[in-house]
Amino acid sequence: MFKKVLIANRGEIAVRIIRACKEWGIETVAVHSDVDSDAMHVRLADESVCIGSHQPQNSYLNVSSIMSAVDLTGAEAIHPGYGFLSENAKFADVVGKHGIKFIGPSSDLISKMGDKIQAKKIAKKYGLPIIEGSEGGVKSFNEAKSICKEIGYPVLIKAAGGGGGKGMKIVEKENELEKLFLLAKTEAKKYFGNDELYIEKYFKNPRHIEVQIMSGKNKTVHLGERDCSVQRRHQKLIEETPSPVLTDQQRKDLLEKTVKMVEQIGYEGAGTVEFIYESGKFYFLEMNTRVQVEHPVTEVQTGIDIVKEQLWIAFTGDTALKQSDIDPRGHSIECRINAEDPSLDFQPSPGTISVCHQPSGFRTRVDGSIFQGCKITPYYDSLIAKVICKGRNRTEAIQRTLRSLDEFVLEGITTTIDLHKKILNHKKFVNSDFDTNWLGKEKFY
């Protein structure tokens, strides 16, 4: 196994990776910005290197500083986590050319699957159903107008080179198209350095369902699906597995087709294939070539350590898993706890945590990087912790999650804990009668 791994990330995912490395007996190197010098991931790592100021482009997105930290510490591999440089093909290429192992797929596959237009073509080639829309990038307004007329309104304009809701616009009518097309183009250029757009049919009441895969040179296995339909502005808030809306036959069909595609493209590592689901049909959405924020809900459900398996695949090239090893039971739910004020339109809530009591108990897990006295800065993503609970069934999982959220005490900042309790108690959630647009319509405050 690797002797030393550098984690090119921060926060809860850096802590998660450090824990997996320690269980393999691997020494860890944390990188950090100037404001993160006292962060949990820095405290837990064997070594740490300051790589720049608090602006991400000067630190966590600074490739030359990260590679200098590799040279300084003698790390053999880099784990990128999620976000930042995790799906940056150029970074993966630079890492490989320096003789360092990038813990993830090849730069070529990151590039292909990270480009939503390319990914859509690949999915179609290998038999996954795709959403009706543009075959390639849409360069002009006139071209956009023609495509929209052909597929019919409403449509969704998306940035080819990114995600997270940036550069994404819903167009209900033709007279809205020009303004929103130009706005999406501007946002795509600003956030991703690439103003290429594509257009697809917009679904009004979809579920968002994704399949977790682990793949080596020897084989590909799935770890079941997650339902990530509780979202706000395309950002996931609650994930659960299994999806409460799928039949056994739908699940079997989805999982088999996903594994087949991933095998055929020669993928290595952990990955997630995402789908839109509406009226009993699936449509390929995108593939994330990294570990997901919501991976712990699958770990709790299956008993498989996804990050440790990532490290094994990176070191050996093969997965040690067999499909027969995967035996999910019961139901699991994950809540993302953010330092935000839902009553003020989710305004960020930086500050110092004065009291921190995290829940525990039977089948309750908390992934985070917080502690009493730690500072939540305004410079990075507002995610501070994840609460994951498992039950014998969905009802018990909901009750256990509510019990755990009641135990979670954080003072000094405002969080989304109260919002999660309101969602979990809501009749529509209890009955699984919701879609990705539900939270935008419901008044919780």
Cβ–Cβ under 8 Å, residues 205 and 222: no
Among candidate residues 226, 232, 290, 365, the one labeled active-site is: 290
DSSP letter for 130, please.
B
98 neighbors 228 (Cβ within 8 angstroms): no
400 among known catalytic residues: no
DSSP 139-178: -SHHHHHHHHHHH-SSEEEEETT--TTTT-EEE-SGGGHH
Q: Which of 212, 210, 217 is nearest to 268 (CA)?
A: 217
| Start-to-end C-alpha separation, the chain | 50
Alpha helices in 193-319 (DSSP H): 248-264, 295-302, 306-316
User: Residues 310-341, buried b or exposed e (16+ Cβ, 10 A)?
Assistant: bbbbbbeeebebeeeebebebbbbbbbbbbbb
* Beta pairing, strands 27-33 & 47-52: parallel
**How does strand 269-278 pair with strand 155-159?**
unpaired
Say which residues have a Cβ less than 8 Å from residue 23's Cβ, sequence separation at least 6.
305, 308
Please give the single-letter amino acid code of residue 87. E
Active site positions, annotated: 290
